[in-house]
A and B are shown apart, each in its own frame.
Chain A
Amino acid sequence: MSEQPNPYAAPIRGSEHTPAPGGFRLSDDLRKQIASVARLMFAAGGLQISATTISLINEGISIPTLASAALTGVFPLFVLLAGISLLAIAKRDEGNDLGALLAGFRQLHVAMVVKGVMLILVVALGLFGIVAAFFFAKNFVTNGIL
């Protein structure tokens, strides 16, 4: 008895929707999860860009402050853009989710390249400083100054 379908039952959510051939659609849970991460990206990027802008206004506009703001502002800018791209996934009627997902990944990739290059520069400068200090001290010792 219970195996027979009820012809008067309300339609199941999503059952009336026919996916596009070859289209990629995420489940509602994953869509919500990505949307929440996208909102966090949007907030993080927005807050850090605001802080950089206020810092620029406080310190006055000059070449060093502009260069500093450009260095600290590029990463949050691309995080913000990635957040906007991934927020498109939250809209169910976007069609194919793969396009929005890849657009978000591309912008996050640029953000990570910017942050990665900055961190590698910091590591390289730190190592250079240690090596330079070592040779500086060694030179002092070998010359009998210390």
Chain B
Amino acid sequence: MRRSGMDPSLGSNKIPLDGDGSEVVRRFARWLRIVGSAQLGIASVALALVGLAVLCSMAAAGAAGGFALIGSMVPLVILGVVVLQALRLQAAGEQFAEVANEGDIDSLEFGFARLKTVFVIDVVIGALMLVMQLFGAMK
């Protein structure tokens, strides 16, 4: 299998991690998985509770409250995105653990690909936080 992540002029397919470097990547990978698991747990419980609340309100409102229920889908979508971010964090953690153990250059590439999704979501969250604070400041 051809490795694409390394400069071909070097000839090696592995990241030359020494003991300390490998330990840095391993601890980073472990905390990525811890954060992903904790976030997944919290977001899944919240998703289940909000889903139940939406279902109950749909049953209570019937067809008349359909338009209002579209608004209640917004928290579900937000929680879905948080769950996606948690899954991506866990996947990135797995990839970086491979980097720490094997020095695998492909895993480094895959790990950064998963982190990209995580930080795209963080940029959107940051932008929303900023807009909300700016609107709060104008009131």
Contact = CB atoms under 8 A, between A and B. Distances in A.
Interface of A: 14-15, 17, 19, 22-27, 29-30, 33-34, 36-37, 40-41, 43-48, 50-51, 54-55, 57-58, 76, 79, 98, 102, 105-106, 108-109, 112-113, 115-116, 119-120, 122-123, 126
A112 B24 CA distance: 13
B65 interface: no
A79 B130 CA distance: 17
B102 interface: no
B28 A105 contact: yes
Contacts of A58: 133, 136-137
Contact of B28 (A24, A112, A115): A112
B119 A41 contact: yes
B5 A119 contact: no
Contacts of A19: 7, 9-10
Contacts of A43: 123, 126
A30 B21 contact: no
B6 interface: yes
Contacts of B134: 54
Contacts of B109: 30, 33
Contacts, number: 130
Give the interface size class of chain B.
35 or more
Contacts of B113: 33
B4 A27 contact: yes
A8 to B, nearest CB: 23
Interface of B: 4-10, 15-17, 21, 24-25, 27-28, 31-32, 34-35, 38-39, 41-42, 45, 96, 105, 108-109, 112-113, 115-116, 119-120, 122-123, 125-127, 129-130, 132-134, 136-137
Contacts of B5: 26-27, 29-30
Contacts of A102: 21, 24-25
B16 A22 contact: yes
Given A25-B10, A37-B116, A44-B122, A98 B4 contact: no
A84 to B, nearest CB: 14
B82 to A, nearest CB: 11
Nearest to B137: A58
Contacts of B126: 43-48, 50-51, 76
Contact of A109 (B16, B31, B38): B31
